[in-house]
Amino acid sequence: MRLPFSHDAFLDVFGAYNTALWPAEVLLWAITAGFVFHWFRAGRLNGRVLFALLAVHWLWSGVAYHWFFFRSINPAATLFAALFVVQGALFTWLSVASSARAITSRSPRGIIGGTLVVYGLAYPVIARSFGLELPRLPLFAVPCPTTLITVGLLVTSVGVPRFVNVIPLLWTAVGSWAAFALGIRADLALVVAGVVLAVDTLAPAALGSKAEA
């Protein structure tokens, strides 16, 4: 399928987005890093905090990135924005209604999930290391690092309904395809994230018990 925009136009969107919103990106990165540090130190993250954080990420990516910036070059971004807002609303609801929690350990789930979260936080540095130049590179608070962090947290979470995985799983497919089509090598981690989340959704026992994660 031919993309309705060029590689340069795609990077120009990031340039405009980063220039306009970079203080918010830095703040969201710092808040997320603080929560992750607490998660690793304490060994668990309360579900209310977990879902509230993810809700901010998905709502921000849907509205600030997809609707206000990406839509200028891709008509499909209207649908993407709607899906991200729906996922953000789901996480908002779960932050109130769920007793889920995220747990870290040296189990396979803990290692895989923790690695994806760390990769998501390191995403700006990784993207830069692949040759992309500021400000025209995906930094943070955009769909792909948001999805990587989300998958990592979901994989290590206990008590999360599996239907919550559906939209993040769809985005791993969209993002993986775009990674190959546009040559954004930092996004190739979405292939791994998609496989992990698909297994967790369809055959969760294959990754080990969540009670041990």
Region 195-202 average pLDDT: 96
- Would the pTM of this model clear 0.75, i.e. be above it? yes
CA-CA-CA-CA torsion sign (169, 65, 52, 93) = negative
Per-residue pLDDT tens digits for 24-74: 999 999 999 999 999 999 998 898 999 999 999 999 999 999 999 999 999
d(CA 44, CA 87): 23
- Residue 103: strand pairing partners: 44
Instruction: List Cβ neighbours of 209 (8 Å cut-off, separation of 6 or more).
Output: none
Residue with the bigger pLDDT between 179 and 168: it is: 168
Q: For helices 108-129 and 189-202, give the axis angle rounded to 10 degrees.
A: 160
Per-residue pLDDT tens digits for 104-133: 888 889 999 999 999 999 999 999 999 888
